[in-house]
Amino acid sequence: MTPVAIEVPASSANLGPGFDALAVALDVTLTVEVSPRRDERVVARGVGAGELPTDDSNLIWTALVAYCRRFGADVPDVSLVSANAIPLERGMGSSAAAAVAGVALGRLLLDAGGTDAELVALAADLEGHPDNAAAALLGGLVVCADGTPTRLEPSECLRPVVCIPHARQSTSQARAVLPDAVALGQAAANGARVAMVVAGLSGHVAWNPAVMHDVLHEPARFEVMPESGVLVRRLREAGVGACLSGAGPSVLAVVHIEDTAGIDAVNNAVDDGWEVRGVHWHRRGASRVEPTAAG
């Protein structure tokens, strides 16, 4: 058995108005390594250890099995060793990272084929979110339109700051509160802001923090995540681009890379119970790394 390990990034989806269409990869990672068969199918270390399943129901393993079935490969009788730093149920794409880790590891280990677009679709079928899956696999800034992911390079002049609460929120619960419809004018204005978010984050126009405002999903979610809503409003009032990270409850802020005042504004806006973490764009996406002795 050839030693194989893969690193997959966290992701922040929606980016304000880009509901189910935009996401960006962040340099908080999940690493998974192939190991000779052990009693546990998946050895879970780091965030989620002792909580995530270690049998065949683990999402990383089910994604690897799904890859084998999709591309006609034999399922290898191995175990997986995961080291996770992505917070669970915080809107940072932990499930998408697990699904992408399984399918991308399958492609590396078994060499049975599969394009990036096919792997994104397979991971999204398992986990439900093509935007997060595309960012986790491809890295950078992604736009998912009509089922096709397109990758863009995030601006080197901007950096993400993630505000992570201690409280959790499941994605299914966060989706259950969404409205069935919004007014046509609101939807049109939201679409215009999506274009400006993409243009600004990719460095094609000057970054305008105000364009992260959303009317499709955030108002309803702030009703059930009021602390996140308060934080987003504080940041916007301070002139910082901010939005709910994915389905929440984490909050994503975007600041200029040399803007210490922006970082200070984020730190000053949070209450107790939040962690402020200055991170970076993850540009590689899912990629092979050197195995360790832990595998």
Task: Answer yes or no: is pLDDT of 103 > 80.
Answer: yes
Q: What is the pLDDT of residues 1-46, one digit of tens each?
A: 678 999 999 999 999 999 999 999 999 999 999 999 999 999 999 9
State how far the Cα of 197 lies from the Cα of 286, in Å rounded to an integer.
24
- Residue carrying structure tokens 């908080």: 28
* Burial group, residue 85, by CB count within 10 angstroms (0-12, 13-18, 19+): middle
How large a percentage of the chain has pLDDT more than 70? Answer: 98
All domains in the chain, ordered by first residue? 5-153+281-289 (3.30.230.10), 158-278 (3.30.70.890)
Q: What number is the average pLDDT over the span 103-122?
A: 95
Task: Answer yes or no: is pLDDT of 262 > 90.
Answer: no
Residues whose CB is less than 8 angstroms from the CB of residue 277 and which lie 6 or more positions away in sequence, other chains included: 28, 161, 162, 163, 164
pLDDT for the residue numbered 295: 56
Of 273, 264, 204, nearest in space to 240 by CA: 264
pLDDT for the residue numbered 173: 75
Strands 158-165 and 141-145: unpaired
pLDDT for the residue numbered 79: 96
Task: Answer yes or no: is pLDDT of 90 > 80.
Answer: yes
State how far the Cα of 101 lies from the Cα of 137, in Å rounded to an integer.
8
Q: What is the pLDDT of residues 192-219, one digit of tens each?
A: 999 999 999 999 999 999 999 999 999 9
Q: What is the pLDDT of residues 144-195, one digit of tens each?
A: 998 899 999 999 999 999 999 998 877 777 778 888 888 999 999 999 999 9
